[in-house]
Amino acid sequence: RLANRNPEPRGIQQTVSLLGEPSRVIGRDGDVQKIVELLIHDSSNQQPLCVVSIVGIAGLGKTTLAKLMLESLTQAGCENITSQDVVVQKIKENLQEKKYLLVLDDVWNEDRLKWEDLRQCLLGISETIGSKVLVTTRTQNVASIMGTAPAHVHRLEQLKDNDCWSIIKNRLFGNSELEELENIGMEIAKKCKGVPLIASVIGGTLCNNRKKDDWLSIKDNIEVWGALEEANGVQKREVLIQLWMAEGFLQPFNERYTEIEDIGDKYFNDLLSYSLFEDEKRDSYGSVTACKMHDLIHDLAYSVSKSQTLVLGNGNRSNIHAGIRHLNLIAVPSMADTGVVGDIKKLYTLFSQVDNFQNMPANFRKLRVLSFRGANIDKLPAFLGKLKHLRYLDVSGTRIKELPKFITRLYHLQTLRFMNCRCLTRPLEGLGHLVNLRHIYFNVKKNMPIGIGKLTCLRTLKLFFVGQQKGCGIEELECLSKLRGKLKICNLKNVRNQAEARRAKLFEKAAIQELEMKFRRGDSQCSSEKRSKHDEDVLEGLQPHSNLRFLTFSGYYGEKCPSWILKSTGNLGESTCLRNLVLMTFDVCPQLKSIPSLSLSNNTSVEIKLCNNLKTIADSSLQKLTIYGCDELLCVEVGTLAMTSLKELHIQRCGKLESLSEISRLLSLQILHLKYCAKLRIIGGSGSFALRCLEEFTLIDCHRLMSVPSLDGLLSLQKIYISRCMQLKSIGESLCNSRCLKYLSLCGCDGLEFFPRLDGLSSLQCLSIEDCGGLTSLPVSLFSCTALEKLTITQCNNLITISSIDGLSFLREIYISNCWQLKSIGESLSSCPCLKKLTIEDCPSLMSIPSLFALFSLETLSIKRCIGLTSLPSGLFTCTSLEKLTITECHSLISIPEDLKELHSLVELEISRCGGLLEIPEECLGCLTSLKQLCIGGFSKELEEFPNLGFIQHVHTSLRQLTLVGWETLKRLPSQIQCLIALHRLFIEDFDGLEALPNWFGNLSSLQNLSINDCNSLKHMEAIRCLCKLHSLRISKCPKLKDRCARGSGSEWDYISHIPNINIDRLWIQLKGAPVHPTQRSSRSDFSLEKQISSNSPAAPSDGRDGEDLWWWVKAGG
């Protein structure tokens, strides 16, 4: 239970961050860049004072990050001054008419008045535009109270495991490394769960313990405990609150919070605000619907309650003692196998997948929470009827055939869940006795209880099927006045008339937020006219309460809207019945012809889907309008609608829509998306758009559109995305006036012959040009886009030259692919000092790549399938930050430069399938001591032996993954690789002449994963039997091995049978050491291992090495 918090700030210092050299701050480059952007380049610089907040749990490095922002600033202090007025006056003297940055570290105070006082002081000090306040805090509430706009809240995320390991190494080794401890160290780093403070503390602990046994002991001591919840720890918000209710944690404490659910909601928000919960899932409106605890918070909570909490299953066993209050039985065959010691009378919570409760020795009579969710059971145990204190029961996803009558005697039951119980044969009767039931969940029509109207305490009923039998009519909703949240009413075709519909009394249900009215599915036997009149009559009687926020009409056959959503004018002015409505949806309303002026607020959005007869829309109060699949809609007559408040317009799949000529009158429009409107020819009519508020403009699959209107005057435009507009020939020359434009993408516009001028686009950050076959060159004005960070050019087959990259000093990424005629890319990239990633693929006419001299920031260089390229770019040796270098299928390449040896940061190297190479610079590759992944081979077929890999002895302790690519004539593997004692993953490909694995193969003692592909002659695997750590073997397209490795009968089976996981030609023949049933084998061509692993399917192994080996399984799967 949450105690009342004291809002006063704490009297002791909460955080101390000792910031050393900048290089010691690890893994936060992206965060630094984002915050600098908010502080310097953001549009809020036009305000007198802007607050930027850094939010995150303890130990993530909020204070360190704030100090990093200030490390280059001169610090000045006011010493021995106690008067606040004197302090303010001294600061004002120094800062008057200046911009300033104020950092407030570790703020806990949630007093709005105190913050307002501080704000007024700051405004009094200086009214100069552009001053900023940087706040670090653990709570979202503080960020909100201090006036931080949502876009200015930077939530600090956990570090990657590699970054945590780097922090530990910095504490341990200084400039030296202990290679033999790195494997254990990485495992320890994973236990830090991304928190740098934990990594630093562990690093200090390990500093005086340099022996392997010491590290293994420390690793075992920081293993995390099992969780009572699901494996991924994610909990739905409503489930969590209902569990709190069942345990008695929620009690009313003032007049404002009288509903228990509201109290639970408040506690949930408090925990979320204090970063004790992490938002895992949000709905489309931004509300948090699911959460999880950070592992460290969870471990702390579990350590406090471990004497009362126990998880059994998956191989772990422990005796259940009398003090246990919370028990989770995951995979125990029966209660007899649980090791119960005496009665467990204090047990309050039981999550169970046990299907045998016979001869149960325990006393469960105080049980408040019982969940059989997902259990393999077909009936409920008889003891359930004796649980008089039970508050929460969940039997969802089970195979039970009936809900026994004794459930109706559980008088204290508050929550009943039986979702996805498709084996239930009949509905439950007699629920009226459950006078305390507040929440009921089901989603199968035949499972709806009879006589649900007697449950007058009910708060949650998400689904109601109107039936014709007694106890299933719509009148059952009459007395359920406390319903809240979401309600979906189906089969409204069974309501006879308006009078019967009124008996539901929806207008009295003030707590319902979301309502869906579903009439029918498909055609009915009655005539179209009769259906229309019936639906209009019934809908008229279903007026909801004015508090409603979301309303959906589905399968409605009426031609007009009900009177209660229409705007009316009387003696008291305009009537607004649904003043709180946020979204109204018309979904498959085939007879609806028009939507007149509605009784909606100015913040309402309307979605219209598959309303084929809709011809006109007339409402001036909408904020967002979405039109989808309305085949008869010819035009949107904006002039008569006068939608002065419309900010977003989305039109999709309206096949007959030809014109949006009056769209320029939507003066408040910010977002315009037009998709799959094949006949659209006119946008905006003659002249310019004149939409001064427009920020996003998207055109997709508008095939008849030939031109985009003049963009002159679009002063707020930030994003343009145009895709597959085949006949588009030009984009207005006035594009260069869009000085706020940040993102410009043109894709699949084959008719586009001339690229618009780009001079003046000083804010452009991302430019993407894809599949524009008519383009032969880029505009020279590209060099004037000085803020450009990412340039993508792909599938422009007639593009000959890119000559204007010079001068783009902020460019971080270049991606060029499938430009068949491209011959040159400028002369030098040296004027792009921020470049981090350069990728050039499938450009067969490209003869050379410009110099990379002095590109000290370059981290990734990838050159693939450039068959005309004869040499690598000059200046490569100066790219001292390069971590990944890929050169593959460049068949004219004849040499690798010797200066590769200067790339000491290189972690991944691939030189493969370059058929012109006769040798590799062995000496220089031996200098790459940081190398962890190497792919090499596929060289000239003139070579009878694989090139000498003698250099590999210099990387034998660091290399973790090796791919060897052979060719037809090779008969043996390079023997030098046997020294790789730390190698974990080995891929062998295209060694057609190889008949047997060499005897020395067993020297690869650390090998865990082996993949052999396209080795047509390979027959013998005897050498593999010595690899005792090998847990995964994959063989593909090795025809002579398939039968020889057959389980139990193949001649090679004895040599590989010790390997837990074996896959041959996309079929698992052994998983975790057990044979695989044919139904568990995957024969799909795509072999989607990612999905199988993530769902814990038996089709893929899961052995606790998820991060590293997930990559292995995906890579091995091709």
Residue type, 353: Q
SS3 of residue 310 by DSSP: strand
Q: What does the block give as tokens for 1061?
A: 């996981």
pLDDT at 810 over 70: yes
Percent of the chain with pLDDT over 90: 34
What would the pLDDT profile of 686-695 be if each residue is shown by its tens digit? Answer: 655 678 889 9
The top-scoring range by mean pLDDT among 27-31, 151-155, 176-180, 1024-1028 is 1024-1028
Q: Rounded to the nearest 10 degrees, what angle do helices 196-207 and 212-221 cross at?
A: 140
φ/ψ of 313, rounded to 5, equals 135, 175
pLDDT computed for residue 30 by the predictor: 76
> Alpha-carbon Rg of the chain, whole angstroms?
34
Q: Give the start-end residues of each E strand in 170-325.
A: 235-236, 278-282, 288-292, 309-312
CA-wise closest residue to 494 among 463, 466, 533: 466
- pLDDT band at residue 269 under the 50/70/90 scheme: confident
Tell me how far CA of residue 408 lies from CA of 399, 416, 471, in angstroms.
Answer: 20, 11, 16
Report the sign of the C-alpha dihedral through residues 469, 471, 476, 482, in that order.
negative
* CA–CA distance, 52 with 155 (Å, rounded to integer): 11
Query: Residue 126: is its pLDDT beyond 90?
Result: no
Q: Which of 802, 842, 848 is nearest to 826 (CA)?
A: 802
Going by pLDDT thresholds of 50, 70 and 90, the confidence category of residue 525 is low
Sequence-ordered list of residues with C-beta below 8 angstroms from that of 284, at least 6 positions apart, any chain: none
Per-residue pLDDT, 285:
67
Is residue 718 within 8 Å of 741, Cβ to Cβ?
yes
- Check pLDDT > 70 for residue 233: no
Spatial distance between the Cα atoms of 463 and 456, rounded to a whole number of angstroms: 16
Q: How confident is the model at residue 1081 (pLDDT cuts 50, 70, 90)?
A: very low
Determine the longest span between alpha carbons in the chain, in angstroms.
99
Asked if residues 520 and 490 have their Cβ atoms less than 8 Å apart, the reply is no
- To which residue do tokens 């913050």 refer? 115
- 953-999 tens-digit pLDDT: 888 888 999 999 999 889 999 999 999 988 999 999 999 999 999 99
1097 pLDDT above the threshold of 50? no
Q: What integer pLDDT is reported at residue 821 of this predicted model?
A: 94
Cα(787)–Cα(739) distance, integer angstroms: 11
What ranges do the domains of the chain cover? 22-155, 161-221, 230-304, 635-714
pTM score, two decimals?
0.73
Better-scored residue on pLDDT, 881 or 615? 881
Q: Determine the pLDDT at residue 814.
A: 96
Q: What is the pLDDT of residue 161?
A: 82
Torsion of CA 462, 466, 470, 474, to 10 degrees: 80
**Banded model confidence at residue 1022, pLDDT cuts 50, 70, 90:** very high
960: left (phi > 0), else alpha (psi -120 to 50), else beta?
alpha
Q: What pLDDT does residue 208 have?
A: 62
Give burial (CB, 10 Å; 0-12/13-18/19+) of 633: buried
Over pLDDT 70: what percentage of the chain? 79
What integer best gives the mean pLDDT of the chain?
80
DSSP E strands in 459-536: the ranges are 460-461, 463-465, 485-490, 512-518
Token readout for 570 is 């009387």
Name the more confident of 486 and 710.
486
Confidence of residue 430 (pLDDT cuts 50, 70, 90): confident
Looking only at the bridges linking them, the beta strands covering 573-575 and 568-570 are: antiparallel
Which residue(s) pair with 496 in the sheet? none
Do 960 and 932 form a contact (C-beta atoms < 8 A)?
yes
**C-alpha distances out from residue 771 to 549, 794, 819, Å:** 43, 6, 9
Angle at 458 between CA 548 and CA 462, to 5 degrees: 55
CA 147 vs CA 41, 52, 277: distances in Å: 19, 9, 22
Do residues 1043 and 1052 lie in contact, with contact meaning Cβ atoms separated by under 8 Å?
Answer: no
Of the listed ranges 166-170, 294-298, 431-435, the least confidently predicted one is 294-298
636's tokens = 């949107």
pLDDT digits (tens, 9 = 90+) for 176-201: 445 667 777 777 787 777 888 777 76
Q: One-letter amino acid identity for 960?
A: R
CA 953/CA 976 separation, integer angstroms: 8
| Spatial CA neighbour of 38 closest among 69, 60, 62, 63 | 69
Task: Report the range out of 263-272, 554-563, 709-718, 780-789 with the highest average pLDDT.
Answer: 554-563
Residue 888 clears pLDDT 90, i.e. is over it: yes
Mean per-residue pLDDT, 460-471: 92
Of residues 452, 456, 404, 397, the one with CA closest to residue 426: 404
Contact 254, 245 (CB under 8 A): no
Question: Minimal CA–CA distance to 394: which of 411, 377, 386?
Answer: 377
**Band of residue 1 on the pLDDT scale cut at 50, 70, 90:** very low
| Residue 630 predicted with pLDDT over 90 | no
The CA-based angle 709-711-715, given to 5 degrees, is 155
Express each pLDDT in 573-587 by its tens digit: 445 578 888 899 999
Decide: residue 151, CB within 10 A, 0-12 exposed, 13-18 middle, 19+ buried: exposed
- Write the CA distances from 399 to 369, 377, 419, integer angstroms: 20, 6, 11
Q: If you ran DSSP here, which 8-state letter would residue 39 be given? A: I
Q: Looking at residue 845, what is its pLDDT?
A: 95
Residue 506 has pLDDT above 80, yes or no: yes
Q: What is the structure's pLDDT at 1063?
A: 95
| Per-residue pLDDT at 1009 exceeds 70 | yes
Q: What is the pLDDT of residue 950?
A: 85
CATH of the domain spanning 22-155, picked from 3.40.50.300, 3.40.50.10790, 2.40.30.10, 3.40.50.1370: 3.40.50.300
pLDDT confidence band for 432 (50 / 70 / 90) = confident
Over the range 227-238, which residues count as b (16 or more CB within 10 Å of their CB) and which as e? Answer: bbbeeebebebb
Give the integer Cα–Cα distance in Å for 372 and 376. Answer: 9
Question: What pLDDT, on a 0 to 100 scale, did the predictor assign at position 672?
Answer: 93
d(CA 687, CA 709): 7
233: alpha, beta or left? (left if phi > 0; alpha if psi -120 to 50): left
With 0-12 CB in 10 A as exposed, 13-18 as middle and 19+ as buried, what is 574?
exposed
Between 644 and 926, residue with greater pLDDT: 926
- 622: Cβ contacts below 8 Å, ≥ 6 apart: 600, 604, 605, 606, 643, 645, 646
**DSSP readout, 583-630?**
EEEEES-TT--EE--BSB-TT-EEEEES-TT--EE--SS-SEEEEES-
- Of 858, 862, 902, the C-alpha closest to 885 is 862
